[in-house]
Amino acid sequence: MKFVDNVKADVTTDIVHMMCPMHLLKLEEKIRELEDGQILEIMTDYDGALEDIPGWCAKTGNEFLGMSETEEFYKFYIRRKVKK
C-alpha cells in the first residue's frame, strides 16, 4: 500500500460508518462529478476499501494516489483520469 501525506484534494466525501458497497458507489458517483485531473479524498472506516479502492482504480483507469490513516478512519486519494 502506498502512503501519502499532504495531498490537496478538490473534493472530500465522508462515508465513515458506511459499509460495503457504499465505498465503491460513492467513489464512482463522486469521481463522475469531478473535472478531469481533479483529486477526490474518501474518508472511510471500512476495511474492505483497502483492497477495493486501489482495485477499482486499476479497473477504471483512474489514478490511485495513495492513502493515509487516522485513529478512526482511512483517507484514500484518487485522481480522476484525463480523457485523451
Partner 1 sequence: MRKCYFDHVATNPLDMRVFDAMMPYFKEDFGNPLSLYESGSKAKEAIENARAQVASLINSKPSEIIFTASGAEANNFALRGIALARQNEGKHMIVTRVEHHSILNSARFLEKVGFVVTFLPVDKHGIVDPDAVKKSITKETTLISVTHASSEVGTIEPIKEIGKIAKERGIIFHTDAVAAVGNIPVDVKDLGVDLLSMAAHQFYGPKGAAALYVREGMRIVPLIYGGIQESGRRAGTENVPAIVGMGKAAELAKNEMAERTGQAKKLRDKLIQGASEIENVFLTGHPENRLPAHASFTVEFIEGEAMLLLLAAKGVYAASGSACSSKALKASPVLLSMGVPSNLAQGSIVFTFGKDNTEEDIDYLLSEFPQVIKRLREMSPYAKGWGTKGESGECTVQK
Tell me which residues touch partner 1 (CB under 8 A): 14-19, 21-22, 25, 71-72
CB of 11 to partner 1, least distance (A): 14
Nearer to partner 1, 37 or 48 (CB): 48
34 grid coordinates:
469531478
Nearer to partner 1, 18 or 34 (CB): 18
CB of 79 to partner 1, least distance (A): 24
CB of 13 to partner 1, least distance (A): 11
Residue type, 61: G
Burial (Cβ within 10 Å: 0-12, 13-18, ≥19) of residue 40? buried
Nearer to partner 1, 56 or 79 (CB): 56
By DSSP bridging, strand 63-69 and strand 74-79 are antiparallel
Query: 56 pairs with which residues across the strands?
Result: none
The answer to whether residues 80 and 35 touch, using CB atoms and an 8 Å cutoff, is yes
